[in-house]
Amino acid sequence: MKMRITLLKFSSESIHISRKYLLAVIILYLGYLNSNAQDVYENYREAWLKKSMEYLPELQVKTKVPLQMVRLIDDKESYQCVKAVKISEPPEFYQSGLKSNPDDLVLDFGEHLTGHVQFTIQSNVPAHAPVQLKIKFAEVPAEMKASFESYEGSLSKAWLQEEIVTLHTMPDTVLLPNRYAFRFIKFEILASAGDMDFFVSNVKCFSTTSAGADLFNETTLKDSEFQNILEISIKTLEECMQTVFEDGPKRDRRIWVGDLKLQALANYYSFGNFDLVKRGLYLYAATAAENGLVYGTLFEKPQPHPQKHFPIDYSLLYNTVLTDYYEASKEIGTLEDLWIVAKYQVLNILPNISEKGIFTPSPEWWYFIDWNNKLEKTAALHGIIIYSLTKTLELARLLKKEQELPQLQETIEKMRKAAREKYYDAEKMLFVSGPARQVSAASQVWMILSGTVSPEEGRNLFENLKKEKQVVWPVSPYLYHYVAEAMISCGMYEDAGNLIKDYWGGMAKKGADTFWEVYDPDNDFLSPYNSYMMNSYCHAWSCTPVYFLRKYNKELFP
């Protein structure tokens, strides 16, 4: 009330001062909102957590058995130079002792599985001493052939899946203590009495998923390569759908915003499991930071809690998961519940956008974009911010909440303008990034998806990329998804189809049962963790071919 009276006292000469004053008030107001996100969220966190638990799915369990015993042989023509060759079938492979058989007992389930594992073990003579067994799991043949002992990568070696168990009684039926993601399993004796041999039998995987049935499975693509890619992408998604959308059932076994977005899209064109999307959205809201930002990733156990760091591109993409969800479900209640979270994602970054529309990330944030270490990310990040703000504006309009973020439209326009001014290289006719003016696919893609350029300009960008000698290309299926999405948004359906066939189809040709976390057609051993053993070979962000092939079916296959 007092403030209003004060304002009324300003004379007409002081309009300039009054504008500055108003700006200060807005900034203070934003600061107030920001600093009070915690207070605002506190009113909702409990309800959000409760909702996330209401959407906790029941896991469907299927019992799977190994189909063949294989020998792993070096083979230059095979993916990662290792080939699994069948040597016997059940029950034959159960009839040799672990010691007396010259081959390791490597069993192949014939498909990627995520679940718990049980086996029976018997000895040739009554057990008079314990046996120490190593049971190793692998998603791909080379991972099985490699020695985990030789691992020198950057992530915890404990991700490499093996168990060491000591058994005193024979026969015994053992349910191993963890969940595993694998196609191959190996049994090995580490220690035992000299006169004892051991016979493994009845190996079973109780495989789990929350995916349910493929609601769209009546459609079979005429092109068998595309159909194969589609099936692998559905299997990839199915394996990653557990009690949340996991990024990888082998590693990291948790929900990440970037993966969630792509899984949700693929899910809308396969299992249509809206509850699991909502579970993820509410979990992020319930575990958001005090400033209101959602963290990039969170853990379900022992109780939902975030990993406390901000990949700011992921935080902003949260808002776009909401709009994608609405587009698929037309259900507005979830958006109404979570609008406050979307709003705080924006409020948190507004102070980092200058008057001229340049986004400067805070030092406590990082940004992912892609695994390619050579990538200069500034321009791509700028594009992602615009993309997310644009989607947030759609959301605000849908909910009739534009007045809560009155500066949004203006900010988007400022940023698009700034993008052209700061990141576009008129000579190369491409967006560039960083002091070295790096040309990358990422920069073009995100400028296209942000609406900074028209579809026609977008097509030109792709054309010009082809002419450029030094282009930083993606190494992850995650960024390749956005390349395909950008192509489609420019009407380049044939290019998008070719990309899917080349990139995801490339994995299929190399024997993928599920799509991989990392795929560089020229380097089977590329790993962000300095070891291909650590890579996840069933990774959520690779699951989107089903989305493209079904959503754009008519355009891709006219």
Give the DSSP letter of residue 317: H
- Binding span for a copy of itself by CB under 8 A among 33-41, 89-97, 188-196, 241-249: 188-196
Pairing of β 297-299 and β 255-256:
antiparallel
Per-residue contact track with a copy of itself, 270 to 299, x per CB under 8 A? ---------------------------x-x
Smallest gap from residue 124 Cβ to a copy of itself (A): 12
# residues near a copy of itself by CB under 8 A: 43
Minimum CB distance to a copy of itself smaller for 205 or for 395: 205
CA atoms of 481 and 519, how far apart (whole Å): 13
Q: Which residue is associated with the tokens 């605000």?
A: 396
Which stretches of 77-214 are DSSP H helices?
A: 141-145
Asked if 171 is part of the footprint of a copy of itself (rule: CB under 8 A), the reply reads yes
Distance of closest approach, residue 170 Cβ to a copy of itself, in angstroms: 8
Q: Provide, rounded to whole angstroms, the least separation between the CB of residue 175 and a copy of itself.
A: 11
Q: Angle formed by the axes of helices 378-398 and 312-329, to 10°?
A: 40
301 touches a copy of itself by CB under 8 A: yes
In angstroms, give the least distance from the CB of 239 to a copy of itself.
Answer: 17
Minimum CB distance to a copy of itself, residue 201 (Å): 15
**Other C-beta atoms within 10 Å of 362: how many?**
11
The verdict on 188 binding a copy of itself (CB under 8 A) reads no
Residue 346 identity (one-letter amino acid): V
Candidates 20, 62, 86, 308: give the one binding a copy of itself (CB under 8 A): 308
- Segment contacting a copy of itself by CB under 8 A, of 53-61, 192-200, 311-319, 386-394: 192-200
- Written as six digits, the tokens of 294 are 């959602």
Assess 110 for contact with a copy of itself (CB under 8 A).
no
Contacts of 267 (CB under 8 A, 6+ apart): 237, 241, 245, 273, 276, 277
Find where tokens 């691992």 sit.
Answer: 151
- The residue from 154, 362, 454, 523 that contacts a copy of itself (CB under 8 A) is 154
Q: Per residue in 132-160, is it b (16+ CB within 10 Å) or e — as a string?
A: ebebbbbbbbbbbbbebeebebebeeebb
Structure tokens at 122: 């018997």
Q: Which of 306, 311, 383, 505 binds a copy of itself (CB under 8 A)?
A: 306
CA distance 138 to 132: 20
Binding test (CB under 8 A) with a copy of itself, winner from 163, 188, 225, 425 = 163
Binding positions for a copy of itself, 114-133, rule CB under 8 A: 125-132
| Angle separating helix axes 333-349 and 274-286, nearest 10 degrees | 40
For a copy of itself, what does the binding mask look like between residues 31 and 70, x meaning CB under 8 A?
----------------------------------------
**169 touching a copy of itself, by CB under 8 A:** yes
Pairs from 467-472 (Cβ < 8 Å, separation ≥ 24): 468/428, 468/430, 468/439, 470/439, 471/439, 471/440, 471/441, 472/372, 472/374, 472/375, 472/376, 472/438, 472/439, 472/440, 472/441, 472/442
Tokens of 180: 């595993």
- One of 165, 221, 399, 526 touching a copy of itself (CB under 8 A): 165
Q: Which is nearer to a copy of itself, 222 or 301 (CB)?
A: 301
In the complex, the smallest distance separating the C-beta of residue 552 from a copy of itself, rounded to whole angstroms, is 36
Identify the CA nearest to 518 among candidates 535, 543, 530.
Answer: 535
Rounded CA gap, 509 and 467, in Å?
A: 28
Q: How far is 354 from 341, CA to CA, in rounded Å?
A: 23
Nearer to a copy of itself, 138 or 490 (CB): 138
Q: Is 157 in the site for a copy of itself (CB under 8 A)?
A: yes
C-alpha span between 389 and 476 (Å, rounded) = 24
- Answer yes or no whether residue 177 interacts with a copy of itself by CB under 8 A: yes
Tell me which of 51, 145, 250, 253 binds a copy of itself, using CB under 8 A. 253
Query: Which part of the chain contacts a copy of itself (CB under 8 A), choosing from 69-77, 92-100, 187-195, 349-357?
Result: 187-195
- Please state the closest distance from residue 542 (CB atom) to a copy of itself, in A: 21
Residues 351-380 that bind a copy of itself (CB under 8 A): none
Helical H segments across 55-158, by residue range: 141-145
Q: Per CB under 8 A, which region of 184-192, 334-342, 418-426, 504-512 contacts a copy of itself?
A: 184-192
Query: What is the distance between the alpha carbons of residues 63 and 459, in angstroms, rounded to a whole number?
Result: 49
Residue of the chain from 91, 194, 363, 558 that contacts a copy of itself (CB under 8 A): 194
Name the strand (E) or helix (H) holding 387. Answer: helix 378-398
Binding-site member from 65, 87, 191, 213 for a copy of itself (CB under 8 A): 191
Among the residue ranges 251-259, 344-352, 448-456, 536-544, the one whose residues contact a copy of itself (CB under 8 A): 251-259
Residues that bind a copy of itself in the complex, under the rule CB under 8 A? 125-132, 154-160, 163-166, 168-172, 177-178, 190-194, 196, 252-254, 297, 299, 301-302, 305-308
